[in-house]
Structure 1
Amino acid sequence: MNVIIVGMGFIGSGLAWKLARQGFSVTAVDQDQKALDALGDSFPGKRVCGIGLDRDVLLRAGIDRTDALVSCMRSDEANIVVAHVARSTFRVPRVIARLHDLTKADTYRRLNIQTVSPNAWGIARIGELLTYNHLDNVFEVGSGDVRLVRADVPALLDGATVREISALGEVQIVSVSHDNETFIPTQGTVLAAGDIIYAAVATSASRKFKQMLGITD
């Protein structure tokens, strides 16, 4: 899979190395040659020095034949322009943009651009850690519309089935850990207090899932 990453800051460079180690064909783009050099001599990907907003720079990076593009520059405005060009002009199949200012999220959504916000994740994560009550977000999918959550089965659900804490299109239990064994459950799987479950939960159904588990806000 060919991936272009625009912006070699902390996140961009870390992502470039992570994907390269996983076997992706990575092209790193940054206007600062020093940022590209900081990837190190052993970096196996391609490096393109130039402004990510420049069409010619993007063409040198192979935007017309890439499978994905990630724009993670410091400027939200720059990220949205690069992502929009990748999506609308070059029809790049997968486009992701880093978002700093959460008030701009709707703009990205209207352009059908998936975003990742370290700020939003950090705020949510700190809040969860401070108010943890047997439910923990593992990660978000898309623009936060679906979450994978970890939960401890409470005593009140001892003997309940997976079906009782599932909701079609809203809550899907994807794994259960019991007595040091983890498996994919069926709707009829019987739960025991202390089991650990992972569930895919629509953000709009978070409150419903908490109610199923007997968790109060």
Structure 2
Amino acid sequence: MNVIVAGAGRLGTQIAQVLAAAHNEVTLIDADDDRVAALEGRVPVRIVAGDACEPSLLEHAGALSADLVIATTGDDEDNLVISLLSKRQFSVPRVAARINDADNAWLFDGRWGVDVAVPAATPLISLIEEATGATDTVALLRLSKAGVDVIETAITPGSRSAGRTLGDVELPEGTVVATIVRDGQPTVPDPSLRLRPGDEILLVSHTATEQEIHAAFQ
């Protein structure tokens, strides 16, 4: 699945990392040059610098062949413009948009090209489930087009993996770490990263069960 994520803040970056780990082709767009520079080489997705509200930029990012566009910027007006362009100008089959201000929720519908409107407080996994249209949940989410599970686990003070490096954790076959959320920010899952209580780990697996993932970390 070809996916464009507009907005490389915490939410957009997490979505991009999870979808990329599930073997989707992901392009992440952001207008902040400093943010783009900080992400380049740290996340396994194509990153495009520029304003996603510009049709030429969306076309450069691959909107003509996109299966899904997710607008996750912190500005509702931008998310609506991105959605409208994606649907009307580029005929993207599925468009999802984040609602930042609940008072604007009534605008996020088909008139603006929005197929799925997601409130800002929606949990990450639920947002991805709604955005992708996946409905056959097995663990937290099964990405139906990718055929993999996305499973979340959290490190607690009692976890046997607390204090160990990520590379020291023996993962089940066919399992990779998509991202680690630490102090509210997505972190690149480097094998040398030492796990600590409070870390939230998102993993993608073709074969492992939630119980097997839990056993590896807890």
Secondary structure, counterpart of 1:98 in structure 2: strand
Secondary structure, counterpart of 1:64 in structure 2: helix
* 1:147-158 superposed matches below 5 A: none
Cα distance, 1:139–1:65 mapped onto 2, change above 3 Å = closer
Q: Distance in 2 between matches of 1:39 and 1:72?
A: 16
The one-letter code sitting in structure 2 at the alignment partner of 1:117 is P
1:33 is displaced (CA, Å) by: 2.4
* 1:1-217 superposed matches below 5 A: 1-111=1-111, 113=114, 114-119=116-121, 121=122
Q: Is the contact between residue 30 and residue 36 of structure 1 (CA under 8 Å) also seen in structure 2? A: yes
Q: Is the contact between residue 72 and residue 97 of structure 1 (CA under 8 Å) also seen in structure 2? A: yes
Q: Distance in 1 between matches of 2:48 and 2:66?
A: 14
Q: Distance in 1 between matches of 2:59 and 2:16?
A: 19
Secondary structure, counterpart of 2:65 in structure 1: coil
Structure 2 unaligned regions, length at least 5: 136-218
1:118 is displaced (CA, Å) by: 2.3
Q: Is the contact between residue 3 and residue 66 of structure 1 (CA under 8 Å) also seen in structure 2? A: yes
Q: Distance in 2 between matches of 1:106 and 1:115?
A: 10
Secondary structure, counterpart of 1:73 in structure 2: coil
Cα distance, 1:106–1:12 mapped onto 2, change above 3 Å = same
Structure 1 unaligned regions, length at least 5: 123-137, 148-217
Q: Distance in 1 between matches of 2:65 and 2:106?
A: 28
Quick one: higher RCO (CA 8 Å, sep 6+), 1 or 2? 2
Q: Is the contact between residue 5 and residue 16 of structure 2 (CA under 8 Å) also seen in structure 1? A: yes
What are the Cα deviations for residues 97-139 of structure 1, in whole angstroms up to 9, with x where unaligned? 01011122221125251111123x48xxxxxxxxxxxxxxx95
- % identity of equivalent residues: 29
1:42 is displaced (CA, Å) by: 4.5
- Corresponding position of 2:159: none
The one-letter code sitting in structure 2 at the alignment partner of 1:31 is A
Q: Is the contact between residue 28 and residue 36 of structure 1 (CA under 8 Å) also seen in structure 2? A: no
Cα distance, 1:139–1:66 mapped onto 2, change above 3 Å = closer
Cα distance, 1:139–1:12 mapped onto 2, change above 3 Å = closer
Secondary structure, counterpart of 1:47 in structure 2: strand
Q: Is the contact between residue 40 and residue 47 of structure 2 (CA under 8 Å) also seen in structure 1? A: no
Find the structure with the greater CA-based Rg: 1
What are the Cα deviations for residues 167-199 of structure 1, in whole angstroms up to 9, with x where unaligned? xxxxxxxxxxxxxxxxxxxxxxxxxxxxxxxxx
1:39 is displaced (CA, Å) by: 2.7
Q: Distance in 2 between matches of 1:62 and 1:139?
A: 25
- Say which is worse superposed, 63-72 or 102-111, in terms of deviation: 102-111
TM-score (norm 1): 0.54
What are the Cα deviations for residues 52-77 of structure 1, in whole angstroms up to 9, with x where unaligned? 11111111101111111011111101
Q: Distance in 1 between matches of 2:12 and 2:23?
A: 17
List 4+ stretches of structure 1 deviating above 4 A. Answer: 138-143
Superposed CA RMSD: 2.6
